[in-house]
Every structure is written in C-alpha cells, then in structure tokens.
Structure 1
Amino acid sequence: MSKPPQAPVSFHPERAILELGDGFYDPVRPAAFPAAILRFRNDRHAAAIGLDQLDDRAWIDHFARFTPLPGSLEAPLALRYHGHQFRVYNPDIGDGRGFLFAQLRDGTGRLLDLGTKGSGQTPWSRFGDGRLTLKGGVREVLATEMLEALGVDTSKSFSLVETGEALHRRDEPSPTRSSVLVRLSHGHIRIGTFQRVAQLRDEEAMRRLIAYVLRHFYGEEAEDPSDAAPRLLRHVVGATARLAAGYMAAGFVHGVLNSDNINVTGESFDYGPWRFAPTWDATFTAAYFDHGGLYAFGRQAEAIHWDVMQLAVSLRIVSAAEPLIAALDAFEVEYRAALRNALLWRLGRTPGDPDDGDALARALDTALAQSQVPIDRFFFDSFARDIPDSYGPAFDDVRALLARHAPRSARNDRYWHGDAPCALDITEVEAIWARIDQADDWSAFHAKIDAIRAMGAALADG
C-alpha cells in the first residue's frame, strides 16, 4: 500500500474491474442500516487517494450508505470465487457479506479497491446475515494498524461505522453491536478467483483474468500468451513469499489461510481469528477451530505455498506444466530472502551477506523458541544495538551473527527510550473491546492506534 502523501492528491476514480466482464461479479444493493455512527476514519490513507477532504456527513454517505463515488462504480459488485477451506474445495463461496464498492488510483497511479465487510447479503451469503459485529470491526482496525506498523503489506481499515443492529453470533455474547467496515486494498483478486475460472474450464476468461492482474497489479502487458501464466505465477510466488516472511517477523498468525483469503498481490487481508503470538511457538494457533494446527504460526509459509500451488493448478488450463513448476520451485528461495530481510528490518539492521542472513534467521528461530522470550520484547530490546546480556547464552550465536550486520541508524526516536514495546496481545484487545461494549468508551481504542502509529514511525525512521 502507498505511504501517506507529501503533497495534496486528487481523487482519481477507476472502474477497471469491468474489463473482466459480468461473469466475475454480481451487482448488489447495500443493506439499509438503522443507524450510522462513525467510529473510525483513516485520514492518513484517505489523503493518499484524495478523499481526506470529505466531511463526516459525506464520509458516512459514501461509506455507510454507499452512495457511489463520482466516476467510479455505479453499483457495488459482489465478486465470484471458489476456494480451498482447510484443504477442502468449496465452490459455493464468494463475497457473502461484502462487495467491491469503488476503484481508484493513488498519487503514484496504483489501482486500489475500496471493499466492504458487513454491508449486507449477496447471492453468495448462503445462510449468513451479511453483517459484521462491531467487535469484529474493531479487531480488524487494530490488526491492520499493527501489521502496517510492523512492515507487513496489508489492506488498510479505511472506515468503521456502527450500524445500530443487534446481531446474534454463536462465538460471542449475543445480541451484540453491528458495524460496516470499508477496506482500502491493492485489489481483491484472490487465488480462489482463478480456481473458479479453472473449475468452469473457461480458457478465454482465464486469459482475460491473467491479463487484468498483470496489467493492473504488476504493470505488465500479456503480449505473449504462452508466457503470461508463468509470469503471473512468478510474481505471485514472490509476493506471497514476502507475505509469509512478514507474518513471521511480525509474530503474527492470520488464522485462516484458505486459498480464497490469499490475494494475488501478496497483500494480507480478511482478518478473522487472528492473533499475535506472545512467544516464538511454532504450534501457536489463532483459530479455535484449527484443531490440527494447519495454520499454526510455524506452518504459515507452508500453508501459503500450498495455496499458491492451487493457483498453479488452475493456470494449467492455459499453460504447460514445466514453467509453472519452475515458478513454484522458487518459493523457498524467495521466502528465505524475504525472511532474513524482514527480521533484519525489525532488528534495525542493514542486509549483508545472504548466507549470514540465513544463518541469523535459523539462530533466531532456535534461540527464541528455546528461551520463550516475548517476541515484541526481544525486538524492542535488540533494535539497532547489541542483544542485552540478560538474554543469556541461548543468544550467543545470534549475537555473533548480528554483529555482521550494521545498524541502519541510531535509536533516536523517543519510542525506543520507553519502558516497554508496543504489543497487541489478545488480552489487551479484549480489554479495549470491553470498554467499548460496557461503557461506549473509545479512548483506549484510539490511544492504541496512536501508540501503534508511533511505533511504526520509529521502526520506519530507524
């Protein structure tokens, strides 16, 4: 995603998704909500797309009542896709409680989507009510803010509006408050989008989809049809390997890495039962229903690679196998490179010899797993300086390898002189929600966002 602009940016509407044709989506109507109380607006990223000048009334009109943005889509579109859910293929999914509301370009010309969660029922809702709990919206805002601060490429929570309905859920006390969330993201094309087209055996639609992704998300034209699918897969392999590495360096567990939840741009999105792991525990899971640990902390790279393999399988309807296999085989190399870079970035160090970086990643994995030092505490204490002696001999190899990487700058930001790191443990998330739920007190929520952004600034400047 783009960084906040240094100069004013004008709004540049788009409707590129229409190039794909109506076989990829269904026009839908948003739900009519009984209330619209603005709880969060991301002016930092609104400025990047020329929408920061909207007053709150206009903001609610567009992002709770979904009056079209001028020049963009005339009606919301629920996108069609399939996907593997916990390795079981499901052809009966799609945008069931969200839709693509608008497309636009930022100040650098990148195509971006404004998509929703909790905006009402669609043809793909099945038995769902198409709504989002307010707690779910609060959790997604916090997750995306924290991941952005920790250097992970993620969708941005753009708007959160409370909608005045009482929702009933099996996994939290009910009735509970409702909301509608708007996400700003670099596209909504999932691996599951390709799986659906492959299942339909529609070669022409597959070529059109490949060309769309190459053109709008990777800046290439599909001039040679024989090479288009492998080129696309190479891009996705690199992007998703960086995503998996980013999760590890952030200590993050997505929870549901199904193929319909993997964006072909490699941007993280669609947050359900996420967690930040308190310690480096490969078996730590986020979803209570992930009984086998399929998407555990230490298995996320494996899970994402498996999903990308399903993209390769889908592309076989228009491509030979050999170049696709060659692209897939690069995932491990791409992942190792991305992991060492992500870890060094969080440690405030510059990349050096790749072999040293790989050795450091392995040593860190061993030391953090054996010591069970809190992840956020370790990176806070070790940023741009020697690992404290208090961490003991378990970190001797890490110390020696870290010495081969120069600090990228000094620890000048006031954040580094505080007593404790900014973390996002689930108990704090629950405490923030409890204050909202019991007293309509949003102060802890907004204070946490401020603290997360301060940490992000310190990491970026360091």
Structure 2
Amino acid sequence: MPIAPAPSSYQPETPITALAEWLGDPVDAARFPETRVRFRNDRWAAAVGLSDLTDERWQAHFGRFEPLPDNLLRPLALRYHGHQFRVYNPEIGDGRGFLFAQMRDGAGRLLDLGTKGSGQTPWSRAGDGRLTLKGAVREILATEMLEALGVYTSKTFSVVETGEALWRGDEPSPTRSAVLTRLSHGHIRIGTFQRLLALDQRDEMDALVDYCLTRFPGPPPPDDAPAREQPAVRLMHLVVERLADLAASWMVAGFVHGVLNTDNMNISGESFDYGPWRFLPRWQPGFTAAYFDHAGLYAFGRQPEALHWNCAQLALALRLLADAPPLIAALERFGPLYTAALGRRWCWRLGVATKGPEADAELVAASERLLTRSEDPPDRFFHAHRGGRDAPAEIAALLADRDRADSSHAYWSDERPQTMVIEEVESLWQPIAEHDDWDPLTRKIAAIRRMGEAHGPAPVPSGHSPSG
C-alpha cells in the first residue's frame, strides 16, 4: 500500500476492449457549461505518467473527457446487476459514470480511470447523471483519509466543477455540480458476475474470470483447497482473501461505508464509491452511515458479515463454471482470514508487532472493551497509545513482549490525531460553499497525508496484487 507511489511514464493499455461488446455500452460525456479544475491528485497522476498535464489539458481530459492518447476512443458505461440491501435488482449499471481509460503504473499494475457525475447513460433510469460538488469534496476526504489509514481504496484523481445548478433532496438546493475521476485497480464488481449468471452467459463468465485472474493476479489457493486448479475456484479464493482484509481495514480505521451492495464490491478488493460514509465518533458497533439504512444492515459492526454475504453471492454466480463444494470451501476461509487481518491491522495502527492470530485477537478484544467503556474516539486511542505508550494496564500486559514500531515521526507528538467525523466534513465544506475558499480543504489534505507518512505502509495480505 504505497504512501508515495513511484513515478512512471504514461503506459496506456486497454484489455477491457476484448470484453466491451457484452460488458458495457459506449457513451459520451455530458457537455458542461464550464470546466474548472478544483482538485488534481498529482502524486497519483505521477504514478501513471499524467502529472505534467497543464490545467488546460487536464480540463480537456477530465472535464470534457477528450480521449487520452492511445486509449479508449469512447468511454464505456459498465453493465451489472446487484443485491441492493439484499434485494436483487437487474436494472442497474453505471448510471452516472463510465470507464474512461486504462494504463499501467510504476509498479506494473493495470489501473482504470473511471468517473462519477459525467452524465446520463443507458443505466441512468430517472437520474440526471450528475454529482454535486459537495459529494465530490466528500469523496476526496474519504479516499485521502482511508489511504492514510492503510485501507486499499480507490483514489480521487480529479474534481472539476461543471457550472450546473443541481437539485437534491438531501442537500440545500440548488447546489453546485462537479465531475469526479477516480483511479482504481479495476471496476469489475460482484454484480458483474451476477448479471452473467442471470443471463446464463457461460462463455462470457469464463472470459471475465480469465480477465480478473490476469489483471488482478494473486497467489494460488492453499495446497489442500479442493479443485484449486480451476480458474473460477482460484478467483473465489482471491476475492475472499481480499474482502476479508477490506472488512478488517474498515474496522481498524473506524470507518462505515454505508452501502455495501454487491454492485459496490470490487473484485480487486478495493474500497470505492463513497456516498453516505462516516468515521466513528466513538466505538459503537450499531453506528450506521446511511439515513435510509433503517434496519442497520450495514452498521459498523455488521460490515464483516455484509462482505461475507457478498462473497457468497459471488460463489453462487461462479456456480455457472464450478461445482459448489470447492467454492464453499473458499467461502469458509473468510472468518479466519478476517480475524487474522483484523489483528494484523490493529497491531499496525497501534504500532506494535503481531504475535499470531490468537494473541492479536486477545489484544483487539481488550482494546474494544476499553474503547466501549471509555467512549473515546478510536482515533484518539490509537494515537495516544502508539507503540504502547501510556497504555492502560489491561492493554500494557498484552504488549509487554512485543516489538514496537518506530514512532519518531513528529506526527506522534501532536496534541491530537487527525480525524474525519461528520462535523469536520461540514466545517471544511462551509468555506467552499460560502466564500469559495478551498484553503482549509487543502490544508486538511496535507495534514492527512502527513499522518499517512507517520503510519507508513500497511500490512498487505498475499491476495492483493503487487503494490496493491
């Protein structure tokens, strides 16, 4: 999980075109009244050879979506189905976004540039295909904070204000508009496989499995895994490993995604598509992010369960290619993998060495009891006790013979940690809304990246691709 990605030359490569006929629909971007660059992620632009673009060229590519050299000639709105709050919906797809370009980064990974708010597509239904500027700012904050906390997340690559007045039921309207471009390691979702199952498209499913194994590679399944040589089974093992780690990374970050539908689950294991997200103000398993999640289906403490359920839907889809027992065997690994990932990531954020799943699980449980009792925000807990310093007795006893991480970075001497609770999000938006003042947001991004430098690279499970 690179904190500062390695610079690279621009290396376009578009293998998605081999699947394009049945994977998506060619579309055109909306014509916006204006294109004003508001955010450009130059450190990740450098990783894909695009940091030298002038603002004028940046507007052309990420505001008007003129094709990048030797890349996709037209954007592709992807088709998929999905369970939305556990109700199957076959009428969805990229309704306000598209795949714009593909290229390799300095680590050799194939990455995608996709959009949000770029206009209507065949899958827009009654939507206008647009994004509010506040929604784009919220996605900047979510991705920057999660990246700094070691979560494998999409990156907010660009935000361009588009000059339209939008009406939304959950924001004061009319409100400003924007188009966002995100950098991701792929846009293939569990819902993509569900669609192929629903249409009984076995050949296409076989091609998609091959694409995912080639473009998002990982280690083979365990030696004792049944039918481990079958491509669909191999992919199932990789996705289980990735999503178990993703669930653990959200829990350690104190993050609530809010909408964990199967169309929001990326085969690459990335977190993406940030709508009603929240960071915890205190340790509360029942905390929800979406006001419409009345049953708490996607509450903070239920996120591992939700991702396990979503993996089960992938297993059902892959039954088109493989027998059930080996897919179930892969699915059954989720629990132990999640427990191990939670302990590994908890120790990383606390700045102590791991001691194995059982000892780490004991440390996590003791920490959770303390957090629940004290009602302190989790960010404060990890910052105050970094490397075991000032640890309460019940925690100190579990850290006695563990190595400690280097905590010499000046961040660890700050009076308080960086946080991103909803009140801070609103306070960062107000200067933009009222005075078009972007300085507080710029300063916050710099402070978050400084925190990421202090944490250093997160522990990456074997199921992730190199530098993933």
TM-score (norm 2): 0.94
Distance across 2 between alignment mates of 1:88 and 1:461: 38
Question: Residue 388 of structure 2 aligns to a residue in which SS?
Answer: coil
Residues 191 and 262, structure 2, Cα contact 8 Å, conserved in 1: yes
Residue 441 of structure 2 is matched in structure 1 by 445
Q: 1:271-350 alignment to 2 at 5 Å?
A: 271-350=274-353
Distance across 2 between alignment mates of 1:127 and 1:301: 32
Matching residue within 412, 415, 418 for 2:411? 415
Distance across 1 between alignment mates of 2:259 and 2:419: 22
Is 1:150 aligned to 2:149, yes or no?
Answer: yes
1:252, CA displacement in angstroms? 0.2
Question: Residue 387 of structure 2 aligns to a residue in which SS?
Answer: coil
Residue 404 of structure 1 is matched in structure 2 by 401
Residues 140 and 157, structure 1, Cα contact 8 Å, conserved in 2: yes
Question: Residue 430 of structure 1 aligns to a residue in which SS?
Answer: helix
Q: 1:45-56 alignment to 2 at 5 Å?
A: 45-56=44-55
Residue 427 of structure 1 is matched in structure 2 by 423
Distance across 2 between alignment mates of 1:324 and 1:263: 18
Residues 380 and 416, structure 1, Cα contact 8 Å, conserved in 2: yes
1:461, CA displacement in angstroms? 7.4
1:37, CA displacement in angstroms? 0.9
Residue 133 of structure 1 is matched in structure 2 by 132
Q: 1:68-217 alignment to 2 at 5 Å?
A: 68-217=67-216
Distance across 1 between alignment mates of 2:445 and 2:284: 26
Distance 1:374 1:220, change over 3 A: closer
Residues 3 and 456, structure 2, Cα contact 8 Å, conserved in 1: no
1:225, CA displacement in angstroms? 10
Residues 315-355 of structure 1 show CA distances to partners (whole Å, capped at 9, x for unaligned) of 01111000000000000011011000110010011222332
Residue 4 of structure 1 is matched in structure 2 by 4
Residues 226 and 319, structure 1, Cα contact 8 Å, conserved in 2: no
Question: Residue 216 of structure 2 aligns to a residue in which SS?
Answer: helix
Distance across 2 between alignment mates of 1:80 and 1:151: 30
Distance across 1 between alignment mates of 2:361 and 2:162: 49
1:420, CA displacement in angstroms? 0.7
Is 1:368 aligned to 2:371, yes or no?
Answer: yes
1:3, CA displacement in angstroms? 4.9
Distance across 2 between alignment mates of 1:187 and 1:455: 27
Amino acid at match of 1:97: R
Residue 232 of structure 2 is matched in structure 1 by 229
Residue 452 of structure 2 is matched in structure 1 by 456
Question: Residue 101 of structure 1 aligns to a residue in which SS?
Answer: strand
Question: Residue 272 of structure 1 aligns to a residue in which SS?
Answer: coil
Q: 1:236-275 alignment to 2 at 5 Å?
A: 236-275=239-278
Question: Residue 74 of structure 1 aligns to a residue in which SS?
Answer: coil
Identical columns (%): 58
Distance across 2 between alignment mates of 1:191 and 1:387: 44
Question: Residue 355 of structure 1 aligns to a residue in which SS?
Answer: helix
Residues 82 and 90, structure 1, Cα contact 8 Å, conserved in 2: yes
Is 1:218 aligned to 2:211, yes or no?
Answer: no
Residue 392 of structure 1 is matched in structure 2 by none
Greater RCO, CA 8 A, separation 6+: 2
Distance 1:123 1:290, change over 3 A: same
Residues 3 and 48, structure 1, Cα contact 8 Å, conserved in 2: no
Instruction: Name the Cα RMSD after superposition.
Output: 1.7
Residues 120 and 127, structure 2, Cα contact 8 Å, conserved in 1: yes
Amino acid at match of 2:29: P
What stretches of structure 2 of length at least 5 have no aligned partner? 221-226, 459-468
Task: Give aligned pairs, total.
Answer: 453
Distance 1:2 1:13, change over 3 A: farther
Amino acid at match of 1:234: H
Question: Residue 218 of structure 1 aligns to a residue in which SS?
Answer: coil
Distance across 2 between alignment mates of 1:81 and 1:200: 11
Amino acid at match of 1:271: Y
Residues 4 and 48, structure 1, Cα contact 8 Å, conserved in 2: no
Residues 386-425 of structure 1 show CA distances to partners (whole Å, capped at 9, x for unaligned) of 334xxxxxx533221122321022x211111111111011
Distance across 2 between alignment mates of 1:332 and 1:5: 31
Question: Residue 158 of structure 2 aligns to a residue in which SS?
Answer: strand
